[in-house]
Structure 1
């Protein structure tokens, strides 16, 4: 399977690329800076340099043409409201349109857990981030793509356990980036999860089992 990873240099995207390469798939990492390529390619991830803001939709469509799926895990990473809107918001719309033009139907979006930060004194920039994430979900759902939206809890750098709690409405919790990446990899193998918005946090069920249940609903 040839999988385009938008945001491949991020902590989730790079882990996903490595997992896909290890299992024999062909991950293609879309990156913003050429100097990001060496480390990714050492993990078996072929890279394409294409700035999510500057590159036109038509060019992305050309670059996505031979792919089987797209995973959008790009984000501004707290770089300010303007970049959050441009990358997490407009960037998602651009890639979704490009995927439609290239007839790449399968599309996975890494979004945000709705309860993240609730009850805490969060800055206005965080509320803007959550607003943009919500809007990007709405924009993706409006497309004709075979989309799946994954909302992980607060991300940690702990070692993955291979076990999660995956559902439609969950109590808020944390999850390792490794387990989010592994969940995305398994979702790619189960196209019947298309049309679902799933939340994922740490848990006790194997990722493969959890996804299979959702695929067979």
Structure 2
């Protein structure tokens, strides 16, 4: 399969590209900075340079055309201000969903964050509050807009760089906890293979269930 990954130089995205390439898929990494090209190539993906904060829906659609699935894994990242949470975590996500629909690519996995539907505690950091609001807005756009997409929203808990365990808790009511980026990438691969997870919003943390078993349990 040809899988387009928006935010292709991110920590989850690079892990995902390696997994996809290792099993014979053709990952395509959308990157803003051409200096990241070699990292993407080393991960087994085809680099495509496009700035999701500046691109039109037509320009992005052209990059996505011919894909079998799209994964939105972009984020403004640590050190960015509240404004970029809106332009990347919300608006770029919505742009990607619209471009996928225009390109005729039905399958979309959107990476969000756990608990974004819950109120931000009073006195929370302004940038964190903006991040949560942006992720929630992107998820709401995907759920509420009548796009011809088989979408899945994946909401990981607190991300870590520890080695993957291969065991997770996955579901709508899963409580917040840690999850490795390795395991997030593995779950995304399994979601792409499981059409029964379409139209679902799934929380993800490390747990006791093997990845494939966990994904099959929430399908259908």
| Shorter-chain TM-score above 0.5 | yes
Q: Please list, as runs of the form range in 1=range in 2, the aligned pairs for 1:37-186 lying within 5 A after superposition.
A: 37-78=37-78, 79-114=80-115, 122-141=124-143, 142=145, 143-186=147-190
Q: Whole-Å Cα distance in 2 between the matches of residues 16 and 122 of structure 1?
A: 32
Q: Whole-Å Cα distance in 2 between the matches of residues 152 and 120 of structure 1?
A: 23
**Helix, strand or coil: the match of 2:66?**
coil
Q: Whole-Å Cα distance in 2 between the matches of residues 197 and 161 of structure 1?
A: 22
RMSD: 1.6
Q: Is the 8 A contact 2:7 2:72 kept in 1?
A: yes
**Helix, strand or coil: the match of 2:168?**
strand
Q: Whole-Å Cα distance in 1 between the matches of residues 98 and 56 of structure 2?
A: 11
Q: Whole-Å Cα distance in 2 between the matches of residues 166 and 188 of structure 1?
A: 15
Aligned to 1:23: 23
Q: Could you tell me how far 1:117 is from its partner in structure 2?
A: 11
Q: Whole-Å Cα distance in 2 between the matches of residues 173 and 120 of structure 1?
A: 21
Q: Could you tell me how far 1:29 is from its partner in structure 2?
A: 0.4
Q: Deviations over 1:93-145 (max 9, x none)?
A: 11111111100010100001117997796301111111111110010112331
Q: Deviations over 1:44-78 (max 9, x none)?
A: 11110000111211011111111000000100014
Match of 1:209 among 176, 198, 213: 213
* Closer/same/farther in 2, CA of residues 77 and 120 from structure 1, 3 Å limit: farther
Structure 2 gap segments, 5+ residues each: none
Q: Is the 8 A contact 2:32 2:49 kept in 1?
A: yes
Q: Whole-Å Cα distance in 1 between the matches of residues 153 and 20 of structure 2?
A: 19
Aligned to 1:199: 203
Q: Is the 8 A contact 2:120 2:129 kept in 1?
A: no
Q: Whole-Å Cα distance in 2 between the matches of residues 178 and 10 of structure 1?
A: 12
TM-score by length of 2: 0.94
